A and B are shown apart, each in its own frame.
Chain A
Amino acid sequence: MRINIAGWSCEGLRCPDVDIDLRKADGLPFHVAFLQMPNGTGKTTTLDLLKAALSGEAAKWDEAMVRGVRRRGDENETGSFKVKLLVDGRPLTFEIDFDFENGRALCYTTRPGSGGVRSGWFPPPEMRRFLDISFLNLFVFNGELANKLFVPEEGAAEGAIDALCQLYLLESVSDQLDTEWNKAAKSRAGPKTQATLESLQTKLGELQARKTKLTRSKEKAVAEQAAAQAKSDELEEKIREKTVGMNKDQGDLADSRTREAKADGIVKEATASLHQAMRLPLALSPIIGKALDDWKDQLDDLKLPEVTSAQFFTDLQKKDECICGTTMTEGMRIQIGVMSKAVLSTAENGQLNIIKGDIEKYRPEPGGLTFNEDLTQKLADLSAARREQLEAQQDVRALRRKIIEAGGDQVQEWEAQQKESDETCGRLQALIDAIDDAGLNLRPGEEVYSLAKIQRDIDEATAKITEATNTVELRRKTTLIQSILQRAEELARRTIKDELLIACNERLKIILANDPIELEAIDGHLKLAGQDRGSEAQMLSVGYTFLMTLLERGDNRFPLLVDSPVGKMDGTVRRQVGRLIPDLCSQFVTFVINTERADFVSSVEGRATDALYLTFFRKTDGTRRLMANLPAGNYAENDSGVLVSDEAYFDSFDMEDEE
């Protein structure tokens, strides 16, 4: 890509109004353009405006910065600055319109063939990175930059490499990874560190071990219970055989046991039925139902729920007029606000309706029992079932006692053994029940036997571990990518520096053949080989060589626009630098004052393929004398300044500072 500056124009700003055209008759830019401006004519302002327009930064300027480009004392409300480029020969224009009244700067972009003028800063995508302000500073700068490249504290050489090669993008990707990681970590519940993950894994291991242990315990308990039950049954059989002569009592015992089992079932059923009835509070006492009915009836008398909800008053408060047509006053609004708080909201009215409706609809079947009577009946059923159960239990105990006692010592011994087996059965059943329990109501710190509860805990821990593992894994991957990026940046930087060093030294061998000097390293700043400093001419030559070698990487060509490129150097230096620059770039635009012309301009023009000589000064009382000998046909003037395009006039111009 070849970028050239075709010209710029400004109006209503600190620098005088001017329209600079750097192109030849064929439309291509002059190889070299000298723009002679006395100090105070606006060189720095022009440089700043060029950067602001090219980078689009002007749109971010605050009011003070915007108003700062208006000439002090002027009252104009608007101003504009326009820079025209040629990008591979195609025009591209950036414009800033200043609105001093409101302290705003609006950017515009003109790209013929791409929709004409667009509001905003819209360079071609492939050009964007070259218009970043850090990059612009490499080819639009004042002469001091070349010197700064040698100052360790400035780090300008490293900054220049960063700007061109955009190595900072790798750092930005790394920062973005951190941002994304933080976002992902925040959105994930649970632990995020390796230590917590390990702690969770330990807990999961313990839970799984507990589950295995309890599963085995249950299997063992079931087996042992079966064995104990078998032993009990066996003893029961022995007792029965031993007491086989007591046929009637054995028969009665069997009947009583059947009765007992039946009664157990009825008690359980009656308990469940009673419990179900008790879930309706009205059933517990007719007094409860009556109190609720009384309350409901009184609500009807009070006209609750209300026809008008609090929302009505809240809405009314916002009206300009009351419903009676009176204009709403602040006092009325306050009063209505008070009223709205005393009235139920729509939702509250709705809830009250539900409660009233439920109280109303819960009526027993006509002719049937009331809820309380039904509950009383169920209570009686449970009592009867319980009596029957107790009687059956007593019968079983009495008949069994009778049979045992009749069987003698042997049977009593068996009975004792059977009791022991039954107790074992009961103890094991309790353990099995605890293991099979849902484990929903465990007290804090209580030992857990419920397999269901342990499985829930395992599921929860597994979910947390999965989440934590993913998060920890994400952190690991993030760190890995960041280390790759960091390494890539280090390698890229080193390779670029090595290549640049070689390219610069090759060039320096030719450029400074009579005054050889070599670069030793680029380490934040430029380091010369074997010496801390060279002559001023050598230093500048190396600086410009470094910049242009850098800018030429990637087959791109940039203009060099430099304010005061040689400053206060002596003639020798000026000649050396002047001879060097045209060879380094395809377009060189420079702002000079009359005292910088000597030696430098002649050296530059000697190496340039063509050159443009512009002189620009502000119209003031002090410059009135300069108007006398303007070359006819080679100047343009407006209310604020004069632009002369004439080599002879350029050479004879003798004003250093604006008068």
Chain B
Amino acid sequence: MASFRIREDALTWLADVQKTLPHGSIFDMYYFCAIAGLTAGRAEELKGPSREMVDYFVADYKPVASFILGMLVVAELRLARIGFDEETAVREMFRSLIAGSGENGLTEEGMKRLNAYANGGYEFLAENYDPRPQSAEEFLRAYATLIEESAAHGPFAC
């Protein structure tokens, strides 16, 4: 089963955030990147060195896994310019991304695409921060603002 992957330089870039975030985990860093990519509609296939993580949603994110899966489907539908009412295309998109079984509810393709959004999300964050964030409290405040803004212009705003 495919695993969540995050690129190494994203981890380096977020090192101080993780260090100063109370109980911050590598999955938190992945989530920041993935949500940034989904809301901004930025997906880039992973190419450089990346870290293989777990193949399941960790406990902190299990309760919200459905939203992440839903966001992935919606982002992909919007990216492919498929209307929510296009029954066959919606069904096909769902089947290609969401698995009926498994630890994470994603197909191989679904995991590949979510990792691509995490990768694109990191690039989006890096473009909007200079220098890289030095503390969690500073990052969270800026991140919340950035996501709210990008959501207003990204695939979810359509």
A279 touching B31 by the CB < 8 A rule?
Answer: yes
**Interfacial chain B residues near A344, Cβ < 8 Å:** 91, 94-95, 100
A-B contact pairs, 13 of them (CB 8 A): A268-B22, A271-B22, A281-B67, A284-B147, A288-B39, A292-B71, A344-B91, A344-B94, A347-B100, A348-B94, A351-B99, A355-B70, A355-B98
Q: How far does the alpha carbon of A175 sit from the alpha carbon of B11 in the complex, in Å?
A: 54
- With contacts A285-B152, A441-B11 taken as known, whether A358 is within 8 angstroms of B67 at the C-beta atoms is yes
Question: A275–B136 contact, CB under 8 A?
Answer: yes
A292-B70, A342-B92 given; 6 more Cβ-contact pairs under 8 Å: A271-B137, A302-B85, A304-B87, A345-B100, A440-B26, A443-B12
A271-B140, A272-B23, A355-B66 known; A288 vs B151 contact (CB < 8 Å): yes
- Count how many pairs of residues, one from A and one from B, have CB atoms less than 8 Å apart in the complex: 150
B156-A285 in contact (CB<8A): yes
A650 to B144, CA, bound (A): 116
Q: In the assembly, what is the distance between CA of A383 and CA of B70, in Å?
A: 31
Produce 1/0 per residue, A337-356, CB < 8 A to B.
Answer: 00000111111111110110
A349: chain B residues at CB < 8 Å are 100
Shortest CB distance B69–A (Å): 6
Chain A residue with Cβ nearest B100? A347
Q: Which of A409-460 contact B (CB under 8 A)?
A: 440-441, 443-444
Query: Given A280-B67, A348-B100, A351-B100, A295 and B144 touching (CB < 8 A)?
Result: no
Contact B101 A347, beta carbon cutoff 8 Å: yes
Taking a contact as CB atoms under 8 Å apart, the answer to whether A304 and B137 are in contact is: no
Q: From B71, which residue of chain A is reached at the shortest CB distance?
A: A281
Tell me the smallest distance from the CB of B107 to a CB of chain A, in Å.
10
Residue A291 at the chain B interface, CB threshold 8 Å? yes
Which chain A positions have C-beta within 8 A of B23?
272
CA of A294 to CA of B84, assembled, Å: 8
Is there a chain B Cβ closer than 8 Å to A301's Cβ?
yes
CB distance from A441 to the nearest CB of B (A): 5
| B68 contact from A268, A281, A287, A298, Cβ within 8 A | A281
B64 & A279 in contact (Cβ 8 Å cutoff):
yes
The contact of B144 among A282, A350, A379, by CB within 8 Å, is A379
Q: 1/0 per residue B40-73: CB within 8 Å of A?
A: 0000000001010000000011001011111101
The reply to whether A301 and B85 form a contact with Cβ atoms under 8 Å apart is yes
| Residue among A291, A295, A342 making CB contact with B88, cutoff 8 Å | A342
B119 within 8 A of partner (CB): no
Measured between beta carbons, the chain A residues less than 8 angstroms from B91 are 302, 304, 342-344
Question: Given that A285-B151, A348-B98 are contacting pairs, would A441 and B105 also be in contact in the complex, using a CB cutoff of 8 Å?
Answer: no
Q: Is B90 part of the binding interface, using a Cβ–Cβ cutoff of 8 Å?
A: yes
Q: Given A280-B64, A359-B66, A382-B140, decide whether A350 and B148 contact each other with a Cβ distance below 8 A.
A: no
Q: Is A129 an interface residue (CB 8 A)?
A: no
B157 in contact with A382 (CB, 8 Å): no
A267 to chain B: which residues have CB within 8 Å?
A: 137
Contact A275 B140 (CB under 8 A): yes
Bound CA span A281–B95, Å: 23
A348 to B102, CA, bound (A): 11
Q: Is the CB of B98 within 8 A of A351?
A: yes
Candidate in B12, B38, B100, B143 with the most chain A CB atoms within 10 angstroms: B100
Complex Cα distance A607/B108, Å? 89
Report the separation of the CA atoms of residues A355 and B143 in the bound assembly, to the nearest whole angstrom.
Answer: 26
How far does the Cβ of B41 sit from chain A's closest Cβ, in whole Å?
Answer: 12
- Which bucket holds chain A's interface residue count? 35 or more
Q: How far is the CA of A623 from the CA of B158 in the complex (A)?
A: 108
CB of A396 closer than 8 Å to a CB of B? no
> A154-171 interface mask toward B, CB cutoff 8 Å, 1 = contact, 0 = none?
000000000000000000
Interface of B is mostly: helix
Question: Which residues from chain B contact A474 at a C-beta distance below 8 Å?
Answer: none
**Bound CA–CA A285/B38 (angstroms):** 12
Closest chain-A Cβ to B109's Cβ sits at a distance in Å of 14
Interface centre among B21, B51, B70, B87 (most CB of A within 10 A): B70
Q: Are A287 and B151 neighbours in the complex by a CB distance under 8 Å?
A: yes
One of B12, B28, B140 near A274 (C-beta < 8 A): B140
User: For the complex, what is the distance from the CA of A268 to the CA of B136, rounded to whole Å?
Assistant: 9
Interface: B81 (CB within 8 A): no
Q: In whole Å, how far is A347's beta carbon from the nearest beta carbon of chain B?
A: 2
Contact A298/B84 with A278-B144, A351-B99, A441-B18 known, Cβ cut-off 8 Å:
yes
- In Å, the complex CA distance between A288 and B95 comes to 22
Q: Bound complex: CA of A272 vs CA of B73, how far in Å? A: 29
Contacts of A362 in B (CB 8 A): 67
Does A375 sit at the interface, judged by CB under 8 A? Answer: yes
Q: Which residues of A sit under 8 angstroms from B77, Cβ to Cβ?
A: 295
List residues of B (102-154) whose CB comes within 8 Å of A's CBs. 105, 136-137, 140-141, 143-144, 147-148, 151-152
* A379→B73 contact, CB < 8 A: no
Place the interface of chain B in its size category. 35 or more
Q: Are the C-beta atoms of A348 and B74 separated by less than 8 Å?
A: no
Q: Is A386 an interface residue (CB 8 A)?
A: yes
> A551 at the A/B interface (Cβ < 8 Å)?
no
Q: Which secondary structure dominates where chain A touches chain B?
A: helix
With a cutoff of 8 Å between Cβ atoms, the chain B residues found around residue A279 in the complex are 31, 60-61, 64
Asked if A270 CB lies within 8 Å of chain B CBs, one says: yes
Contact flags A315-349 to B (C-beta < 8 A → 1, else 0): 00000000000000000000000000011111111
Q: Which residues of B contact A288 (CB under 8 A)?
A: 39, 67, 71, 151, 156
Q: Is the CB of A350 within 8 A of B11?
A: no
- In the complex, B33 has a CB within 8 A of chain A: no
Establish whether residues B69 and A355, one from each chain, have CB atoms under 8 Å apart when the complex forms: yes
A285 to B68, CA, bound (A): 14
B1-13 toward A: CB 8 Å interface, digit per residue (1/0)? 0000000100110
Residues in chain A near residue B28, CB distance under 8 A: 275
Contacts of B141 in A (CB 8 A): 274, 379, 382-383, 386
* Bound-state Cα–Cα, A288 to B94, Å: 18
Compute how far the CA of A287 lies from the CA of B87 in the bound complex, rounded to whole angstroms: 23
From known contacts A285-B148, A347-B100, infer whether A275 and B69 are also in contact, taking CB-CB under 8 Å.
no
Residue of B11, B98, B99 with most chain A CB atoms under a 10 A cut-off: B98
Collect the chain B residues with CB atoms within 8 Å of residue A444's CB.
Answer: 8, 49
Of A291, A342, A443, which is in contact with the most chain B CB atoms at under 10 Å from its CB? A291
A74 to B105, CA, bound (A): 71
Whether A284 contacts B67 in the complex (CB less than 8 A), given A345-B100, A352-B94, A386-B137, comes out as: no
Q: Which 4 residue pairs spanning A and B have beta carbons closest together?
A: A347-B100, A358-B66, A285-B151, A298-B84
- Beyond A285-B152, A382-B141, whether A350 also contacts B70 by CB under 8 A is no
List the B side residues contacting A352 at CB < 8 Å: 94, 98
Give the CA-CA distance A351 to B95 in the complex, in Å: 10
Cβ contacts under 8 Å, A350 to chain B: 100
- Nearest neighbor of A310 in chain B, beta-carbon distance: B95
Can you name the residue of chain B whose Cβ is closest to the Cβ of A290?
B156
Instruction: Determine the residue in chain A with the shortest Cβ distance to B36.
Output: A284
Known: A304-B91, A342-B88, A355-B70. A270 touches B137 (CB 8 A): yes
CB distance from B143 to the nearest CB of A (A): 7
Do residues A443 and B147 form an inter-chain contact, with CB atoms below 8 A? no
Which chain B residues border A443 with CB–CB below 8 Å?
A: 8, 11-12
A299 to B11, CA, bound (A): 37
CB of B3 to closest CB in A, whole Å: 15
Q: Which of B95, B151, B155, B157 contacts A284 (CB 8 A)?
A: B151
Complex: chain B residue closest to A358, CB-CB: B66
Task: Note all chain A residues with C-beta closer than 8 A to B157.
Answer: 287, 291
